[in-house]
């Protein structure tokens, strides 16, 4: 199960060319820091093994001026067919430099007893102009994998899909490395479902931003399976906030309702035009 749903939120860094998948260059980013909380509810079951699910997810983005620090905390409680409850708690912490060169990551999970297990951790680096590079894992220990050319880090990936929405594209399919598996880069297929001009919303902080509806499917590159490993859809605003989440875990589907949103002021100096 891919628990790091929000490995897709964005950075202000200008993107290198995205080959045939489109480019985010020449488009000024409006992305900001954020603190968002979502209430998760069950919307569909595809198995008889469970009878219910609920949860909560909090997501924080901090503008570190030279990079973006993100933290995600998610709790899922699943009711099994025998009436017992299973609890899953995951924490996902990343740092992505605004120059697009470095991405550090750590994904941990806690079992029902509260014992912590580090699933994946390490540092990935873009070492070439075509976004190729290397991943050095500390968990699993002593593991190194190559980043194929064209691989985007999470913030770059989100900026790319927002750029695709602004350009009225119908889809993009960049590779992504977000640090949530030990298998390296994943294939993604992003369908652009619609683009919206700014409009009044429940959240005043979003009223001035355009938004894009997307459906994102994640695939393991080592298999030729047409069934995605994980799938999510949402409305992304140009400042990086997501609403209307749909999280498809395969056996069940959950929706995420934004219940709290804070946009902190930036502490970074504003660059002046020459």
- Considering only CA atoms, which of 7, 6, 13 is closest in space to residue 100? 13
Specify burial of residue 88 (Cβ count, 10 A radius: 0-12, 13-18, 19+): middle
Q: Terminal CA-to-CA distance of the chain, rounded, Å?
A: 48
* Alpha carbons 150 and 132: distance in angstroms, whole number: 6
pLDDT at 143: 94
Locus of tokens 């873009």: 126
Q: Determine the Cα–Cα distance for residues 165 and 213; give it in Å rounded to an integer.
A: 8
pLDDT of residue 29: 67
Beta bridge partners of 219: 187
pLDDT for residue 222: 72
Count CA atoms within 13 Å of residue 258 on its CB side. Answer: 20
In tens digits, the chain (274 residues) has pLDDT values of 344 443 333 322 222 333 333 333 333 468 889 999 999 999 999 988 999 999 999 999 998 889 999 999 999 999 999 999 988 899 999 999 988 899 999 999 987 777 778 789 999 999 988 888 999 999 999 899 999 999 999 988 988 999 999 999 999 999 999 999 899 999 999 999 999 999 999 999 999 999 999 999 998 877 666 778 889 999 999 999 999 999 998 889 999 999 999 999 888 876 544 4
**Confidence at residue 194, expressed as pLDDT on a 0 to 100 scale:** 94
pLDDT of residue 115: 77
Q: Which among 178, 173, 169 has a CA at the least distance from the CA of 216?
A: 173
């Amino acid at each position: 199960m891919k628990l790091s749903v929000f490995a897709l939120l964005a950075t202000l860094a200008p993107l290198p060319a995205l080959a045939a998948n489109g480019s985010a260059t020449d488009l000024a980013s409006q992305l900001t820091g954020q603190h968002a909380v979502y209430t998760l509810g069950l919307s569909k079951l595809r198995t008889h093994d469970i009878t219910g699910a609920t949860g909560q997810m909090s997501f924080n983005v901090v503008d570190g001026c030279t990079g973006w620090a993100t933290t995600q905390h998610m709790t899922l409680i699943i009711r099994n067919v025998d009436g017992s409850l299973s609890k899953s708690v995951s924490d996902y912490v990343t740092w992505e430099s605004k120059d697009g060169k470095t991405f550090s990551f750590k994904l941990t999970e806690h079992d029902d007893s509260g014992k912590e297990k580090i699933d994946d951790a390490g540092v990935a680096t873009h070492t070439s102009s075509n976004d190729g590079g290397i991943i050095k894992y500390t968990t699993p220990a002593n593991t190194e994998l190559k980043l194929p050319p064209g691989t985007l880090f999470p913030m770059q990936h989100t900026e790319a899909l927002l750029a695709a929405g602004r350009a009225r594209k119908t889809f993009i399919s960049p590779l992504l490395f977000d640090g949530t598996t030990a298998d390296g880069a994943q294939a993604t297929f992003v369908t652009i479902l619609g683009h919206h001009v700014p409009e009044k919303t429940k959240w005043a902080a979003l009223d001035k931003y355009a938004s894009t509806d997307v459906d994102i499917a994640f695939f393991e590159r080592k298999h030729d399976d047409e069934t995605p490993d994980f799938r999510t859809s949402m409305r992304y605003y140009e400042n990086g906030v997501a609403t209307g989440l749909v999280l498809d875990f395969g056996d069940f589907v959950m929706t995420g309702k934004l219940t709290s949103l804070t946009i902190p002021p930036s502490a970074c100096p504003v660059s002046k035009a020459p």
